[in-house]
Amino acid sequence: MGRRLLLPHTRRLMLFLRPMRYSASATATATAGSLRDPLHVCVVGSGPAGFYTAEKMLKGREGVRVDIIDRLPTPFGLVRSGVAPDHPETKIVVNQFSRVAANPRCSFFGNVTLGSDLSLSELRKTYDVVVLAYGAESDRSFGIPGEDLRGIHSAREFVWWYNGHPDMCNLAPDLTNTDSAVVLGQGNVALDVARILLRCTTELASTDIADYALDALRSSTIRKVYLVGRRGPVQAACTAKELREILGLKNVNVYIKEADLATSPADKEEMRNSRIKRRVYELLSKAATVHQENNDNDRKELHFVFFRKPTKFLPSEDGSTVGAMELEKTLLKDDGATGKQVAVGTGEFEELKCGIVLKSIGYKSLPIEGLSFDKYRGVVPNLRGRVLSSESETATVEPGLYVVGWLKRGPTGIVATNLHCAEETVDSILEDDRKGLFTDPSGPKRQGRRGLLEILEQKNARYVPFDGWEKIDTKEKADGELKNKPREKITRWNELLEAAREG
């Protein structure tokens, strides 16, 4: 033995891992022995909400086993398929999520769909705690005539398309039939979409944008993008960083009407209360006064259109594609009930020619069987993350069922907002655990991961474990190296499943 260091035979890396710090509430309840009844938790959805919940559950209680399931073979949800390709810093958070998935008490099961491979009741029988974090995969719609014309897409579909989501790889939006695109809505998603349409393709060529999207954008004839909002610059839902970025785009002239920048006392009140709105308004007013350079062929145009709401979509000559849209001028009125300012039509109409319309007015969650759902708000009725049986006053709490993320709060917020949302839900779960709501000696013992594997075997469902995703990741990065991109995304279902199996 002598001079050599006899290192303990254990997972070498665990020797140097930082010991996990427990929160104060959990430490108070941690029992003396480390052999605690395992708590089986299933998180449905592997986006930021799902992973933050898994992380906090693993930290919050000993003996917890977390299984994260996702419909796609690739994890990370909108961090992979929603964050724009020219925002790679926002995607750094996947490193943290990968560390959570590498934890031996946590497993990832990709290509498992709640509703077809599994039902909610089966899941609740297999796990002590089920946390729904599957976000919002549908869109709000206007409900106005012409909405089904070709050329009208939701921003979610467009974003999934250029981010290589396997459900949208065949979207094939036509970017060559027109020089004007209209984006309805002025939130950050609308700005993202406008920016991708306007950014020069040489800059996009070194991002992880899908290859077919890059080709389509290279051949696109779109020169003008209109960002249409039904209220004014003070009510625009975007934030300063994204606005600053789009106003500073190379070779883009920005047009904002000075008349739209007039503020009422109610507007000033709103700006006083919100730092974000103040800075957004300042940026827009500065941009309105900048002298625009001559518009030669190289320069594209970005128009901010305020106080207009769409009333119908008009077809072009071929009858099936959109050719123009009718907009109604609006005025802001105080809504007594909520105190917010709402847009009210004035009866004056105007027409705007366009060949492609992208609706960015909000996402909406999808209900599943066996789950109470608030159709108006598009969320699951809940109390601090505990699912309620209905949205009425007399609802009861569903045992063992929780909700987190966009499904809980509605489709707003950034990646970090899910951090606090997950903390709240995990606090509720741990509180219920302390009250003993999950230990039912009379009922059958929950099988957890074993039970899930049995169900998947029965249904012949081929799930993708986390190292399957790592194989996909390696392949994408290797392909990307050849083209000087951070990764070349694999965009078809069959190719993804194949890449997850080989290697």
Partner 1 sequence: IRFLETFEDQFLYRDLGQYKLEKWPNYKIRIKLFSWATLPAQLLGPRSLLPSQAKPNPSSSSADPPKPAPRICCRRCVRLGFAPPVKMLSRISRLGVHALSRARLGQKSVTSRNQEEPIRACMNYVGNRSLCSATEAKVNDRSEQPKAKISVTFVDKDGDETVINVPIGMSMLEAAHENDIELEGACEGSLACSTCHVIVTDVDYYNKLEDPEDEENDMLDLAFGLTETSRLGCQVIASPELDGIRLALPAATRNFAVDGHVPKPH
Instruction: List the binding residues for FAD.
Output: 49, 78, 114, 406
300-325 b/e (C-beta count within 10 Å ≥ 16 → b): bbbbbbbbbbbeebbebeeeebbbbb
Q: What is the DSSP pairing of strand 308-315 with strand 322-334?
A: antiparallel
Q: How far apart are CB 466 and partner 1 at their closest, in Å?
A: 8
DSSP state of 354: -
- Which C-beta is closer to partner 1: that of 108 or that of 313? 108
Is residue 429 a contact partner of residue 131, using CB atoms and an 8 Å limit?
A: yes
**Backbone phi, psi, residue 84, to 5°:** -65, 150
Nearer to partner 1, 276 or 331 (CB): 276
Task: Please provide residue 434's backbone torsions phi and psi, each rounded to the nearest 5 degrees.
Answer: -65, -35
Minimum distance of partner 1 from residue 187's CB (angstroms): 6
Cβ distance to partner 1 smaller for residue 83 or 118: 83
Closest CB to partner 1 among 259 and 482?
482
User: Length of the chain in residues, anyone?
Assistant: 503
Residue (239 or 372) nearer to partner 1, CB: 239
DSSP tag of 22: P
The least distance separating partner 1 from the CB of residue 300, rounded to whole angstroms, comes to 24
DSSP code at position 318? T
| Beta carbon of residue 67, minimum distance to partner 1 (angstroms, whole number) | 12
Binding-site residues from annotation for NADP(+) = 186-189, 230-231, 242, 413
* Terminal Cα-to-Cα distance of the chain (whole angstroms): 40
Strands (E) across 306-390 are located at: 308-315, 322-334, 341-353, 356-359, 363-364, 382-383, 386-388
Per-residue CA distances from 41 to 127, 176, 334, 443 (Å): 6, 49, 46, 17
Residue where the block lists tokens 């290859």: 211
Count of beta carbons in the 10 Å neighbourhood of residue 146: 19
Taking the complex as a whole, how short is the minimal distance between the CB of residue 94 and partner 1, in angstroms?
9
Nearer to partner 1, 76 or 313 (CB): 76
**Shortest Cβ distance from residue 422 to partner 1 (Å)?**
11
